Structure 1
Amino acid sequence: MVASAVTRSLAGVLLAVAASVGVLSGTADGAVKRVAADDGAKITAEHWIDARTVDLTVRSPALGASVPVRVLVPRTWKRATKASWPVVYAYHGGRDTYVSWTRSTDIAKVAAAYDVMVVMPDTGWAGWFTDWWNGGKRGTPKWETFHTKELLQLMERNYHAGTHRATMGVSSSGYGAVKYAARHPGMFAYAVSLSGILHLTQTGVPALVMFEASEKYDPFRIWGIPGIDDKNWKANDPYELAAKLKGTGLYLASGRTGLPGAHDPAGGEPVELQEVVCGATTVAMVDRLRKLHIPVTAHIYQKGYHDWSTWQPEMHTAWPLMMKAIKAKKLS
């Protein structure tokens, strides 16, 4: 009986240690109990890549599908605690995946210097950070609902993500980061857009984004038909929502020419027209914010590709601004 009690005690200690350092893996109905989101969204699988990196699978009613999420936890993170941590929600752009930030930047190293969590969810091949219009019927997919309701609740209820939040994105996800901050005032203390589409209804831009979406979807399903469903387009346009960004810290960066910059590899495209468009919308957004007397840190540069080679150094500049805004302490 004594040996059995000791064995049970030792097993309990080992389980607690494993949980605290983050080496448990399995499904939601396994060793680790999960709490669902209000609408029933739940974490169905958890796989630890290393002591600080975990990949989750989320079954989302808002999307009508299961999608992956990558999370970086800080060195001080423990599963069994009442503490919470400030968090950065970092989104990937179109044609990319939830692993893009850890694959294409040194975000894991940068984040490790701070007591902060980083959540990198799937955003769809071209989900466009929007609860789709679907001819006015709405319904799935609801990307905005997934990111701003389901995911936040799951991270806060199961992984101790706090309410001091920042959001960051590149390209189409730069649009998503700023749009979410504007449509949900107070949800994010800081928003970062690197080469984002920040004026969705600017002349020529609707055609561009619909052309990109049309490679995989009926583009009219997302925001509706321009000219007919303009109210919905404007309701999802960061430029039109700019006044709601008062009180949110902002870092907006983009190139103007699409020419290769100092950080870009040789032998690339002579001009990246996508960056020209993103630069034009970012300039329009910065001008709009300044007319509204809303503080914004802007870096509008002439040369630089629409690529991670340019975005990584911009992330390094924006990072300490985000950390200050969400009160993330620097670790020794």
Structure 2
Amino acid sequence: MTNTALTVLGEEVSAGPTVRELRLHSPAVGREVGTTLLTPPGWRPGPDRRYPVLYLLHGSSDDHTSWLRHTDVVRLAEDTGALVVMPEAGRLGFYTDWRVRDRAGTVPRWETFHLDELPALLEGRYGASDVRVAAGISMGGYGALRYAVRRPGVFRGVASLSGLMHLTRPGMAALLATLSVREGMRPGRVWGPRRHCRENWAANDPFLHAGALRGTDVYLAAGNGRRSPGEEFVAGMGLVERYSRAMSEDLAASLRRAEVDLTTDFTEGTHFWTTWRHMLTRYWPHARTLLNT
């Protein structure tokens, strides 16, 4: 990994001292970015004490604080013995090194920030080991799978919770265009316009590279688009989740054919936080085992 230097601009510690809110200047992103870090009870980094790392990757139209706001991640992390890092990834960054400016006015290289700059900081300052697991929701599920495809061996395991990972699937370009317009972006900013850049879309589609995940533990979860008991109604999120479920099931079949270590959790629920809270809770024992074996 390239040791690209992040600058720590600020660090606020709360929840005695479990939760650390980091303000970082990232050369790769070209601006200040936020990252939330959970340190385990008794955290004392040193030459003989290193900690595995769980990366939690947020979805589109959100930020790194979403995990704290919407899930029980602090409670779940208490007995994990790991660093839990929740990095900024842009509201529609799609875990990719961009080639054009985004709305903030820089050319963000999210992959470089997450996989080069951030590990160097975590290892040098917070006692991180080279044992890493990544899990993400929606856009973050795509990111976890994409990173594992592009950087074999970096992650022991990855999890896609309601992931939108099949870029070249019919309808995906239209969905991403809708998200782009909602965020005030011109469609096609990440990988180029689909009709002109089909090879680039295919190169960044984890579904088309399922065999590259051999040797990585993969966990796929998706709902069926129907609200679970007590889940609030959010327009369109049932349809999006059914779409995620279909591509997740298709990816699962491809992974089994490629003899990839696979666990699935296909249940009820929509593309929203009530479902993702339950998914994260069910996934946590799996992540804890990967981090500590």
Fold match (TM-score > 0.5): yes
The corresponding residue for 1:121 is 87
Amino acid at match of 1:272: G
Out of 178, 190, 194, the position equivalent to 1:211 is 178
Deviation string 1:90-118 (CA, Å, 9 cap, x unpaired) is 01111112111111111111110121110
3-state SS of paired residue (2:28): coil
**What is the aligned counterpart of 2:290 among 315, 321, 325?**
325
* 1:45, distance to aligned residue in structure 2 (A): 1.3
Q: Cα distance, 1:221 vs. partner?
A: 2.0
Aligned to 2:154: 187
- Aligned 8 A contact 1:263 1:310 in 2: no
Query: Which whole-Å CA distance do the structure 1 matches of 2:237 and 2:36 have between them?
Result: 33
1-structure distance, mates of 2:132, 2:42: 18
Q: Shift of the alpha carbon at 1:79? A: 4.9
2:165 and 2:157 map into 1 onto residues whose CA distance is 16
The equivalent of 1:20 in structure 2 is: none
Using structure 1 for the length normalisation, give the TM-score: 0.81
CA distance in 2: counterparts of 1:200 and 1:230, whole angstroms: 10
- Cα distance between partner residues in 1 of 2:237 and 2:164: 18
Displacement of 1:326 in angstroms is 2.0
The residue type paired with residue 304 of structure 1 is G
2:107 aligned residue: 140
- Correspondence for 2:24: 58
2:245 is the counterpart of 1:279: yes
Please point out which of 109, 115, 120 is paired with 2:75.
109
Secondary structure of the residue aligned to 1:221 is coil
SS at match of 2:189: helix
Q: TM-score, normalised by structure 2?
A: 0.91
Partner amino acid, structure 2, of 1:218: R
- 2:195 matched residue in structure 1: 227
Q: Secondary structure at the match of 1:173?
A: helix
Counterpart CA distance in 1 for 2:73 and 2:60 is 19
> Aligned pairs, how many?
286
Q: Measure the CA separation in 1 of the matches of 2:50 and 2:180.
A: 38
Which residue of 222, 228, 253 corresponds with 1:254? 222
5+ residue gaps in structure 2? none
Equivalent residue number for residue 135 of structure 2: 168
State the percentage of identical aligned residues: 35
User: Shift of residue 131 of structure 1?
Assistant: 0.8
User: CA separation in 2, counterparts of 1:201 and 1:97?
Assistant: 25
Please state how far the C-alpha of 1:151 moved relative to its aligned partner: 0.9
Q: Tell me what 1:292 maps to.
A: 258
Whole-angstrom distance in 2 between the partners of 1:83 and 1:192: 26
- Aligned-pair Cα RMSD in Å: 1.9
1:316 equivalent in structure 2: 281
In 2, the alpha carbon distance for the partners of 1:242 and 1:306 equals 24
1:197 aligns to 2:143 (yes or no): no
| Counterpart contact for 1:183–1:241, Cα < 8 Å | no
Runs of 4+ in 1 over 6 A off after TM superposition: none
Q: Which residue of 2 aligns with 1:47?
A: 12
CA positional deviation for 1:223: 0.5
Deviation per CA, 1:160-192, whole angstroms, max 9, x where unpaired? 111111001111111111111111111111111
For each residue in 1:206-262, what CA deviation from the matched residue of structure 2 results, as whole angstroms up to 9, or x when unmatched? 221132023322232201121321221112111012111111111101123x22123
1:100 aligns with 2:100: no
Q: Secondary structure at the match of 1:240?
A: helix
Residue 317 of structure 1 deviates from its aligned partner by 1.8
2:109 alignment partner AA: K
Which structure is larger by alpha-carbon Rg, 1 or 2? 1
Counterparts of 2:235 and 2:172 in 1: how far apart (Å)?
Answer: 21
Structure-2 separation of matches of 1:311 and 1:75 = 25
CA contact (8 A) 2:99 2:107 kept: no
Q: Contact 2:155/2:216 (CA < 8 Å) preserved in 1?
A: yes
